[in-house]
Structure formats: C-alpha cells, structure tokens
Structure 1
Amino acid sequence: MIGAVHIGLLAACVVLFVPMAMAGWHLSRNKMLFFSCALFITLAVGVHLMPYFPSISDFLSPSQVISLSSPSNRDSCVSFLHSVVYSGGGVIKECGIGCEKRLGWDWDWVGSGRVAGCEFQKLMRSDASDLLNGSWVVVAGDSQARLMAVSLLELVMGNEAMERVRGDLFKRHSDYSITVDEIGMKLDFFWAPYVGNLTELVLQLRRSRNIPDVMVVGAGLWDMLHVNNASEYGSALRVLRDNSLTLLPVSSNLDVGNSKPAARFLHLFWVGMPMLITTMLNTDEKREKMTTAIYDSYEDELTTSKIWRESGGPFFKLDVRLLSELCGPRCTSDGMHYDGVVYDATVQIMLNALLIESNQKLE
C-alpha cells in the first residue's frame, strides 16, 4: 500500500523534473517559472487537504493492519475470538469429575488472515495474574461453569497448587471460595444449575451492593434434564437478562474511604452449553431428554431471549458449543463434559475479551 513517504517523493520528482522537461521544449523562462509555481502550490494544497478526505487517506495509508487501539478494530477482533484450532492428543490424564486432559493436546487461534492480525495472546500465569490482580471473580452455574473455574484457577495458581484444592472445588453440588493471596484475587463459585438460581444471585448482589469485577455464569443442562421445558427456560432467561442489566454500570460500597462510591464496570460472561453427543450420554434418561431437537430448542430460547451482548443483552457469549464441536467426540468421554483443553481455550477467550474491553495490551 502506498504510504506518505512515497507520496512525498513522487511530489518532489514532479516539482523537479517537469520544469526541466519543459525547459527542454524551449518554453520561455517566465512560462516555465509560472507553471512551476502553480504546480508546487497545487501539490502543497492537495497534501494539506488530503486528511479531510477519508476515502483518499484510507487508500494512501496502511489501514489494512488491524490495531486493537482502534475502537472499530477492537469490535471487529471480538468477532474472531472463537476462531481456534486443536492439535495433538495422546495419553489421557484425569483432572477431576467429568474432566480429562490429554497430554500433548493443545489449541491456538487460527494463525492466518484477519485473526492473526488481531494478535490475540495466550496468557501465561504471570500475564493472567497481572490482568486479574486484586479482582473479585464470581463463577456461577452448573458443571460447565465449575470446569471454567478449574481452568481459571489452574492458570493463575499453577497445577501443583490447584491439585491441593481440587477436591474441595469438586464437592458435589456445593459452593466454593478461595483467595489467591499472591495476587489478591478472590474467586467465588456458586452452584446454580437453574437460571432462577442465577437471578437470585444477581438480586442478592444488587441488594448488598458488593459487586464483583468479573461474573461468569451459565445454566441449561440441568433444566433440560430435570424440567425439559424450553419455553419456561426462555422466560427465566429474560428475567435474568432484565435484572442483570440493572447492574451495568454499578457503584459499589467496596470502594471505602471516599465520600462518594466510585463507579465500577462489571464484566459479565455467559458460558454456553456444550455440544451434546446423545449416543455417548451415560444414562437412559439423558439420552431420552437431551436429544438434538430439545437441545436446539433450548439454544433457540437463548438466542430469542437477547441475553447476549451481541443482541443488546448484558452477557458476553463464551461459545462453548462451537469450541466443543471443533474438538469433537475425541474430546469427551460422556458426550457432555469435555476435556480440559476446551475450557482452557474458553478461559483464554474470556481474558482476551477483558483485554479488548479495557483497551490493554500485554508486553
């Protein structure tokens, strides 16, 4: 793409060589000087007016390079966050209830085209710690949300420290709280398998005015199995959406020492349901009630509820369905809970979304 330096060199050549060529045609000195001055003034005026004509400026500048510092390009890059690929595989290692990791199994963002231009970063432990330093993170929902909490804690604590707390985190249908002292990050997990449970949590936070910095929620699988009514699920989603919108933006009484509470932005994420492989589900009841048709009806309710930010709702969509589909049957042993690599990718997508929202870039 032509740049400003090239244009300057071209203009200089025109001003220098055109009069010389005219002199070679034996024009009078006065005519040559008049033409040279007129040409110089025209080029000078054109260079100064060029910034006021966006279409020309865009053509003449390297605007095709994507930069996360531009708001429009940030929005464009958000749409590519789920463009990932999986690779590897190998020995299976258990990592908790419904969770497995394959040694050598890995993922990354697509390394070409506009996805590569967005420069997404797979955050290491130190990077994630810097980003979440001093934050209060709330994770609430069913087993999918719990697996998200596991991947996030593994990232900021390391595998060895995570092994010491994994048993407590995986106590059946229970809440869990931990503070990572090194970075002052607090994580609270709330067992909330129904959308109504999530709404109760939102109302509780609103009443207490103790609002977290990051909230990751998701529910649907339990409703599908134990209620099996998509329309009721959709109604509950709309109630959750309306109550969650009242939290944005928020003022929190966690800001002490000020005469007036400071406004703080709450980052809300929705953990989508994974792809269900009916033939792999481990009970007859699941195979009967969690069919593809019923699953699709629940997904339709999620879309029409407009709970996601892309449709005006409060929640950024973490598309676990897409991420699990890309990994496929090789990444699950029960058709519902996927290998840790899927949730690791989901956590990294969430962290990169936080980077984009806060207009940060790690060095």
Structure 2
Amino acid sequence: MQGRHGHLSREQKQFALWLHAKGWRLVDIAREIGCSAPMVGLMVRTGRYVDAKAFGWDPRSGCLTIAEREQILVGLAQGLSLTAIAGQLGRAVSTISREVARAGGREKYSAWGAHERARAQARRPKAFKLGTGPLLQEVATNLEQLWSPQEIAARLRLDRPGDPEMHVSHETIYQSLFVQGRGQLRRELARCLRSGRTARKPRTAVDGRGRIPGMVMISERPGEVEDRAVPGHWEGDLIMGEQSRSAVATLVERSTRLTLLLHLGEGKSAEQVEVAMREAITALPVSLRRTITWDQGAEMAKHATFTATTGIPIYFCDPHSPWQRASNENTNGLLRQYLPKSTDLSLVSRNELERIQDSLNARPRKTLGYMTPSEKFAELVAATT
C-alpha cells in the first residue's frame, strides 16, 4: 500500500481523521490505512491533510465509493448484518456480500485496501491471460478433447489449486475463441464446442419470428409438471440440419428422459410437424401423454389442431428461454453427436432415426441414478398398468 512508504494520500488522511472521530484506536487506524500508529497520532494532533497528494481515482458510476466502503467498515465493526449495511447504503445485499468476501471477510475487511484493489482492477489495458505459454496450450488441448470452457476452467482449479497462473475463467476462453484481437486460441477450435458455433450470438439479437395465435404460456402449466414426479409431461423441439433446410422433431419425457425422434422427411412445415407429433404421442399409453412444452417456433402454428385432436395441451416457453425445456435441450445436445449440424436430415431414414433413438434411450443417465431412460420408462409403465 502507499501508506507503508510514508506517502499517504489526501483521502487516506481524511479517512484516518474520520475513524479517529468515530472513536477508533490509533493502532487500528494505522492498520487500516497502512502506516504506523505514531504517524496517525501526528495527523490527529495537527489535523492536516490538505497538503497531501490526492489519490487520483474515482470509481465509475454505479461502483462502490471510498465513502461507502468506510460505512461498510464501520458497520462491520459495530456488528451490523450485511442486510442492515446494505439498507443504510441503499445497495443490494449481494453487492455488499461480494465486496466483503473479496476483501477478506468480516474479520479482515479493509476499506482502504478494498479501494486500492478496485483501482488496480480497473486499470486498462490489461494483459490477456491466454496470450502464450502452458495455460494456452492446456486449454487448446482440452478443447480438442471436446471439453467445454466451463469444464476446462473448473478442472484447472481442481488440478492446480495452488497455481493461480494456471487458472482461467470460462469467459476468457470464449473471448479468446470469438473476440477479434483476442484470438490466441486457433479459431478452428471453436468447432470443438458443443454448439459448434464459430461466432457468439449477441444477447441483444432480435427474434424475428411472429407470435403464434392462441398460445398458452408456460406460466399456466400445471404445477405437477415442475417436480417431475408425475410421468407423461413432454418437452419438444426441432433440431435443424444443414443450412436449416431439414429437421428432426424431438420429444423428451421429463420424468424418465425417454426420447422420441420424429421423422420429417417430407418437410418441416407446421402441418407435417403436427401429423408426426400426433402419430408418435397417440401410440403411448393414455396415462403417459399429459402435456407438451415447446418453444415459440413457427412449426407449432397448428398446435390448436393437435390439442383438439389428441386432448393434449401444448404450453409455450417464454422467448429466448431454453432452460424452460432443459431436458429437451440437454438431449438435443447429445443427439448432435449422431446428427451434426452439417447433416442433411431429409436423407436420414426412419430406421436410422429409430437406431439413434434406441441408442439414446439405452444410455445410462446420472440424473436417473445411472438407469437408462428405457428402463425408467418401463418401470413407470408397469406402475401405471
């Protein structure tokens, strides 16, 4: 810290006088601002601070100021809860919680130390961690093994707990793959990602699809669907082939993860999807066809016809919310190992789809206690007959 060299900033001296007025001991003030107790005593006696050099940095709008950090320090010393401190400052509790955790916790929190650290982290430009060296090589090797950036980041911390130079966030890996000027990782490694994308889709991208008439939203779906205790609730979607010219429809049962692959060899229009869904779903026992959840794709334009014919309601996810069909999304990711995005799905026969379907349903799943979807589904069928 600056104070250890005897050169306290104007703000540090003001802070020392403020803490003294609050009744703090000289030794505690010295520890907080990083100087000796006699120096604090001299400042207190003279009351001088104007002649000191200014710290020279103010946080950007929305970030914690030194005055707020002072209030956090005093609140912690008084034994106040983080919620109470957040209320005094008009801040979110999570903001105060992260601030205190970053600076050593309740017992070790230093307002001035946290402020100096914030200034250091705000400096630009920063050296990019995936520039060169063994970290870059290890990340590239793991990407070639089809590990995701999240898996790589987590595994590096697990394997090298005492080597922070070999730690990297998953966001840094994504930036190296996709952001212009930070492409130290070979661009072709982006194809090793599960998505296969060579560019990131902006969060602000506008969905140009029109609204489907008569949609019933997921918020109106029965509560029994959520806990997966009752079988017969399905999630559906299309996976697209090369240049989105062909498709296969997928249905995944939420309780068992059983997957049905629907052949769409004649096309992916709403009429063709409705027919394929009706044929697949009506072949099931009545007790195992309760609801279907789908996204707002145009292929669902005939949802009312489907419901009127089968009696099975279709609920629609909110826009850009794939997690509302999490079982289906995860299964579609596995399906891409069989049907990559470059595949012309119109050429995939019904027999081939059935083979892939059987393979997926015979795959042990951790979420099922390593039972297979077929085994779990058979168990439920037996229990309902």
Normalization by structure 1: what TM-score? 0.26
Q: Which has the larger radius of gyration?
A: 2
Structure in which a larger fraction of residues adopt strand: 1
